[in-house]
Protein backbone atom coordinates (compact mmCIF):
# COMPACT_ATOMS: atom_id res chain seq x y z
CA UNK A 1 0.00 0.00 0.00
CA UNK A 2 1.39 3.44 -0.93
CA UNK A 3 2.27 5.83 1.85
CA UNK A 4 0.01 8.70 0.88
CA UNK A 5 -1.48 10.76 3.68
CA UNK A 6 -4.89 9.22 3.05
CA UNK A 7 -3.55 5.65 3.19
CA UNK A 8 -1.58 6.39 6.33
CA UNK A 9 -4.71 7.87 7.91
CA UNK A 10 -6.63 4.67 7.14
CA UNK A 11 -3.81 2.58 8.64
CA UNK A 12 -3.81 4.77 11.75
CA UNK A 13 -7.59 4.47 12.13
CA UNK A 14 -7.39 0.68 11.74
CA UNK A 15 -4.39 0.24 14.05
CA UNK A 16 -4.93 -1.83 17.18
CA UNK A 17 -2.44 0.27 19.12
CA UNK A 18 -0.64 3.56 18.69
CA UNK A 19 2.71 1.95 19.51
CA UNK A 20 2.16 -0.65 16.80
CA UNK A 21 1.32 1.99 14.21
CA UNK A 22 4.33 4.15 15.12
CA UNK A 23 6.66 1.14 15.01
CA UNK A 24 5.32 0.17 11.58
CA UNK A 25 5.73 3.75 10.35
CA UNK A 26 9.30 3.96 11.59
CA UNK A 27 10.17 0.56 10.08
CA UNK A 28 8.86 1.70 6.70
CA UNK A 29 11.32 4.60 6.68
CA UNK A 30 8.62 6.83 5.23
CA UNK A 31 8.63 9.57 7.84
CA UNK A 32 7.95 12.99 6.36
CA UNK A 33 10.66 15.64 6.67
CA UNK A 34 10.13 17.59 9.87
CA UNK A 35 11.47 20.96 8.73
CA UNK A 36 11.28 23.14 5.66
CA UNK A 37 15.04 22.80 5.14
CA UNK A 38 14.81 18.99 5.26
CA UNK A 39 11.96 19.04 2.75
CA UNK A 40 13.72 21.46 0.39
CA UNK A 41 16.84 19.31 0.44
CA UNK A 42 14.77 16.16 -0.17
CA UNK A 43 13.10 17.81 -3.16
CA UNK A 44 16.46 19.09 -4.43
CA UNK A 45 17.99 15.60 -4.23
CA UNK A 46 15.31 14.36 -6.64
CA UNK A 47 16.14 17.06 -9.19
CA UNK A 48 18.91 17.32 -11.76
CA UNK A 49 19.32 20.94 -10.64
CA UNK A 50 21.89 22.25 -8.18
CA UNK A 51 21.06 24.42 -5.19
CA UNK A 52 22.49 27.57 -6.85
CA UNK A 53 20.39 26.90 -9.96
CA UNK A 54 17.21 26.58 -7.89
CA UNK A 55 17.99 29.72 -5.90
CA UNK A 56 18.74 31.63 -9.11
CA UNK A 57 15.56 30.36 -10.83
CA UNK A 58 13.56 31.48 -7.78
CA UNK A 59 15.17 34.92 -8.05
CA UNK A 60 16.36 34.86 -4.47
CA UNK A 61 19.50 36.42 -3.06
CA UNK A 62 22.16 33.67 -2.99
CA UNK A 63 23.02 34.13 0.70
CA UNK A 64 19.37 34.17 1.72
CA UNK A 65 18.67 31.09 -0.40
CA UNK A 66 21.50 29.12 1.18
CA UNK A 67 20.28 30.10 4.64
CA UNK A 68 16.78 28.86 3.80
CA UNK A 69 18.19 25.51 2.64
CA UNK A 70 20.22 25.32 5.87
CA UNK A 71 17.18 26.13 7.99
CA UNK A 72 18.56 29.34 9.49
CA UNK A 73 16.15 31.73 7.73
CA UNK A 74 12.38 31.79 7.38
CA UNK A 75 10.60 32.45 4.11
CA UNK A 76 7.59 34.50 3.15
CA UNK A 77 4.72 32.81 1.38
CA UNK A 78 5.87 34.26 -1.95
CA UNK A 79 9.44 33.04 -1.44
CA UNK A 80 8.14 29.58 -0.55
CA UNK A 81 6.06 29.57 -3.74
CA UNK A 82 9.04 30.74 -5.81
CA UNK A 83 11.17 27.91 -4.40
CA UNK A 84 8.38 25.42 -5.12
CA UNK A 85 8.16 26.63 -8.73
CA UNK A 86 11.94 26.59 -9.14
CA UNK A 87 12.02 23.00 -7.86
CA UNK A 88 9.18 21.98 -10.19
CA UNK A 89 6.96 20.91 -7.30
CA UNK A 90 3.56 19.37 -7.83
CA UNK A 91 0.55 20.97 -6.14
CA UNK A 92 0.74 18.45 -3.30
CA UNK A 93 4.45 19.15 -2.79
CA UNK A 94 3.82 22.89 -2.91
CA UNK A 95 1.09 22.63 -0.27
CA UNK A 96 3.43 20.59 1.95
CA UNK A 97 6.22 23.14 1.45
CA UNK A 98 3.86 25.98 2.43
CA UNK A 99 2.76 24.07 5.53
CA UNK A 100 6.36 23.46 6.62
CA UNK A 101 7.12 27.15 6.00
CA UNK A 102 4.22 28.05 8.32
CA UNK A 103 2.51 29.86 5.46
CA UNK A 104 -1.05 29.55 4.25
CA UNK A 105 -1.83 26.79 1.78
CA UNK A 106 -3.11 27.69 -1.66
CA UNK A 107 -6.89 28.05 -1.72
CA UNK A 108 -8.73 27.73 -5.05
CA UNK A 109 -11.45 30.17 -3.94
CA UNK A 110 -8.85 32.97 -3.88
CA UNK A 111 -8.34 34.29 -7.46
CA UNK A 112 -4.58 34.84 -7.04
CA UNK A 113 -4.13 31.38 -5.51
CA UNK A 114 -6.28 29.86 -8.27
CA UNK A 115 -3.94 31.31 -10.90
CA UNK A 116 -0.90 29.98 -9.02
CA UNK A 117 -2.52 26.53 -8.72
CA UNK A 118 -3.28 26.55 -12.45
CA UNK A 119 0.33 27.53 -13.23
CA UNK A 120 1.64 24.73 -11.00
CA UNK A 121 -0.61 22.18 -12.68
CA UNK A 122 0.61 23.33 -16.10
CA UNK A 123 4.30 23.32 -15.16
CA UNK A 124 4.86 27.05 -15.50
CA UNK A 125 8.21 28.52 -14.42
CA UNK A 126 8.57 31.26 -11.81
CA UNK A 127 8.71 33.89 -14.54
CA UNK A 128 5.71 32.58 -16.46
CA UNK A 129 3.69 32.35 -13.22
CA UNK A 130 4.56 35.98 -12.48
CA UNK A 131 3.54 36.95 -16.02
CA UNK A 132 0.11 35.32 -15.54
CA UNK A 133 -0.40 37.18 -12.27
CA UNK A 134 0.80 40.49 -13.72
CA UNK A 135 -1.39 40.13 -16.80
CA UNK A 136 -4.41 39.92 -14.50
CA UNK A 137 -3.36 42.88 -12.35
CA UNK A 138 -2.48 40.79 -9.29
CA UNK A 139 0.67 41.00 -7.17
CA UNK A 140 3.41 38.78 -8.58
CA UNK A 141 5.39 36.30 -6.52
CA UNK A 142 8.62 38.22 -7.00
CA UNK A 143 7.19 41.72 -6.49
CA UNK A 144 6.85 41.58 -2.71
CA UNK A 145 9.55 39.37 -1.29
Cα of 19 vs its chain's centroid, Å: 30
* Positive or negative torsion for Cα 79, 85, 105, 108: positive
pLDDT score at 26 = 74
Residue 13 pLDDT greater than 90, yes or no: no
CA angle 35, 74, 99 (to 5 degrees): 50
Domain ranges of the chain: 1-31, 36-135
Q: Name the average pLDDT for the chain.
A: 90
Give the integer Cα–Cα distance in Å for 98 and 79: 10
* Positive or negative torsion for Cα 114, 117, 123, 127: positive
Residue 144 pLDDT greater than 90, yes or no: no
Percent of the chain with pLDDT over 90: 74
Mean pLDDT of 25-29: 74
* Positive or negative torsion for Cα 133, 110, 55, 73: positive
Residue 31 pLDDT greater than 70, yes or no: no
Residue 24 pLDDT greater than 90, yes or no: no
- The pTM of this model reads 0.79
Give the integer Cα–Cα distance in Å for 55 and 87: 9
pLDDT score at 1 = 44
Residue-wise pLDDT tens digits, 69-115: 999 999 999 999 999 999 999 999 999 999 999 999 999 999 999 99
Mean pLDDT of 115-144: 94
Residue 36 pLDDT greater than 50, yes or no: yes
Q: How many CB atoms within 10 Å of residue 10?
A: 12
pLDDT score at 3 = 55
The string of DSSP letters for 7-19 reads HHHHHHHH-S-HH
Amino acid sequence: MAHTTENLMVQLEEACSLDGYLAKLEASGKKAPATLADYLNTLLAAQPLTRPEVIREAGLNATFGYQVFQGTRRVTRNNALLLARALGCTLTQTQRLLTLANQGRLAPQNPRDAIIIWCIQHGYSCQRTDEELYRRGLPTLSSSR
